[in-house]
């Protein structure tokens, strides 16, 4: 079959809402786009464990500690499903981790911001996991089978993460004046980085069109950002907290909230590695990789021993 015929059959499958599976023919660019997206998503999950891991030992109660611990473990699990999904496209986990460690692969910029107070655990769950859900629910219908199936489970867990964060915010916002102030401060620091999580504006996002045609993406960055802002404003009102954007205003005509200018210089600066915690995060991941070398070697030796025994039998 010619490449053109293969490509037509491939696109027809996508148009018919059928899934592309690992052994199916696919254009090289589709494979590469998915490898980039899924591996960066996986990296975000495991780097995302770091800012929250920072607070496990300082959670204010046993219940809070148990919940946060469970949440951070979920993120490790998300990383593992996603690395496995990416491996079906012909890249190894070692290669992906090399790319993370040498800085050629990116992860979500939000995790390069520090977590300064307990309220940050609330703001992250509410806003960061909330933004992640907005992004990830449409990925459950992604055209690539292994990615879409991983996302179904991930999204169920993300909704628990969002609620645990919102509950922390609610408790603080209805608590003492000092607690409310702490919640407001966390919202002030995490609001803009959260809405940057949806990525550059549509006109500055050249790969989006192809990703939409291939049904990897279902909605544009700006559409998802707008949706997130519309639901989150209402949630902030219930908390009695103020979103740090003086231009935020309901637009009757559009049926959406208008919002202020995003500081894209800040966004690109963090993407390029100059955010407040980029170096610290990467150091922590590299350190964990090096310290875990003996575990990988032991697992490999065990697998080889088992295989050798089986072949003798
Ligand atoms: Fe996650
Ligand atoms: Fe999460």
Predicted local distance difference test score (pLDDT) of residue 312: 87
CA of 1 to the centre of ligand 1 (A): 41
Distance 48 CA to ligand 2 centre (A): 8
- Residue 154: nearest ligand to its CA? 1
pLDDT reading at 166 higher than 90: yes
For residue 167, which of 132, 193, 129, 139 has the smallest C-alpha distance? 129
Query: Between residues 311 and 168, which one has the greater pLDDT?
Result: 168
Tens digits of residue pLDDT in 101-132: 999 999 999 999 999 999 999 999 999 999 99
What is the distance in A from the centroid of ligand 1 to the CA of 154? 6
What average pLDDT does range 85-110 have in this prediction? 96
- On the question of pLDDT at 1 being above 80, the answer is no
Whole-number Å distance, alpha carbon 259 to ligand 1 midpoint, is 27
Backbone angles phi, psi at 257, to 5 degrees: -80, 135
Q: Is the pLDDT of residue 204 over 90?
A: no
Q: What is the pLDDT of residue 203?
A: 86
**CA–CA dist 194, 202 (Å, integer):** 17
What residue has token string 């902030």?
236
pLDDT at residue number 143: 97
pLDDT tens digits, one per residue of 237-273 = 999 999 999 999 999 999 999 999 999 999 999 999 9
Ligand 1 mean position, distance from CA 81 (Å):
10
SS3 string, 151-174, reads: HHHHHHHHHHHHHHHHHHHHHHHC
Q: 234: CA distance to ligand 1 center in Å?
A: 24
Q: In angstroms, what is the span from residue 279 Cα to ligand 1's centroid? A: 22
pLDDT of 3: 87
Distance 143 CA to ligand 1 centre (A): 20
CB atoms closer than 10 angstroms to residue 308: 10
Per 3-state DSSP, the chain is made up of helix, strand and coil in percentages (nearest 5) of 70, 5, 25
The residue among 251, 122, 253 whose CA lies nearest residue 188 is 122
Q: How far is the CA of 302 from the centre of ligand 1 (A)?
A: 30
Q: What is the pTM of this model?
A: 0.94
pLDDT at res. 39: 97
CA of 158 to the centre of ligand 2 (A): 5
Phi, psi of 144 (to 5 degrees): -90, 115
What separation in Å is there between the alpha carbon of 159 and the centre of ligand 2? Answer: 8
Q: What's the whole-number mean pLDDT along residues 283-298?
A: 96
- The rounded Å distance from CA 304 to ligand 1 centre is 33
Ligand nearest to the CA of 130: 2
In this predicted structure, the answer to whether residue 206 has a pLDDT above a threshold of 80 is no
Mean pLDDT for the chain overall:
96
Supply the pLDDT for residue 126.
98
Q: Around ion ligand 1, which residues have CB less than 5 A away?
A: 45, 75, 78
Ligand 1 mean position, distance from CA 198 (Å): 15
For range 5-13, the mean pLDDT: 95
Q: How far is the CA of 282 from the centre of ligand 2 (A)?
A: 20
Question: Which pLDDT does position 11 carry in this prediction?
Answer: 96
Task: Measure 148 CA to ligand 1 centroid, in angstroms.
Answer: 14
Angstrom CA distances, 153 to 40, 85, 163, 189, stand at 18, 13, 16, 30
CA of 9 to the centre of ligand 1 (A): 34
How sure is the predictor about 209, in pLDDT bands with cuts at 50, 70 and 90?
confident
């Amino acid at each position: 079959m010619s490449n053109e015929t293969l490509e037509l059959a491939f696109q027809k499958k996508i148009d018919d809402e059928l899934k592309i599976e690992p052994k199916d023919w696919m254009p090289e660019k589709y494979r590469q786009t998915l490898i980039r997206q899924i591996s960066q998503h996986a990296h975000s999950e495991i780097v995302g464990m770091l800012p929250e891991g920072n607070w496990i030992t300082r959670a204010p109660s046993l219940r809070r500690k148990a919940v946060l611990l469970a949440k951070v473990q979920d993120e490790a699990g998300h990383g593992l499903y996603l690395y496995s999904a990416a491996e079906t496209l012909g890249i190894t986990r070692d290669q992906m981790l090399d790319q993370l460690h040498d800085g050629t692969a990116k992860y979500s910029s939000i995790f390069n911001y520090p977590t300064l107070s307990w309220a940050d655990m609330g703001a992250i769950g509410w806003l960061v996991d909330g933004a992640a859900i907005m992004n990830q629910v449409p990925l459950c219908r992604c055209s690539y089978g292994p990615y879409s199936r991983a996302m179904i489970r991930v999204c169920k867990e993300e909704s628990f993460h969002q609620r645990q964060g919102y509950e922390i915010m609610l408790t603080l916002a209805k608590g003492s004046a000092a607690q409310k102030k702490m919640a407001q401060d966390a919202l002030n620091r995490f609001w803009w980085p959260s809405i940057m999580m949806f990525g550059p504006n549509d006109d500055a996002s050249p790969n989006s069109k192809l990703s939409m045609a291939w049904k990897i993406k279902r909605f544009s960055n700006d559409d998802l950002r707008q949706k997130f802002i519309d639901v989150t404003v209402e949630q902030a009102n219930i908390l009695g907290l103020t979103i740090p954007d003086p231009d935020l205003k309901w637009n009757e005509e559009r049926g959406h909230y208008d919002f202020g200018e995003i500081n894209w210089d800040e966004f690109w600066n963090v993407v390029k590695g100059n955010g407040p915690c980029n170096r610290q995060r990467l150091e922590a991941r590299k350190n964990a990789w090096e310290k875990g070398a003996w575990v990988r070697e032991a697992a490999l030796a065990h697998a080889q021993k088992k295989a050798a025994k089986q072949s003798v039998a």
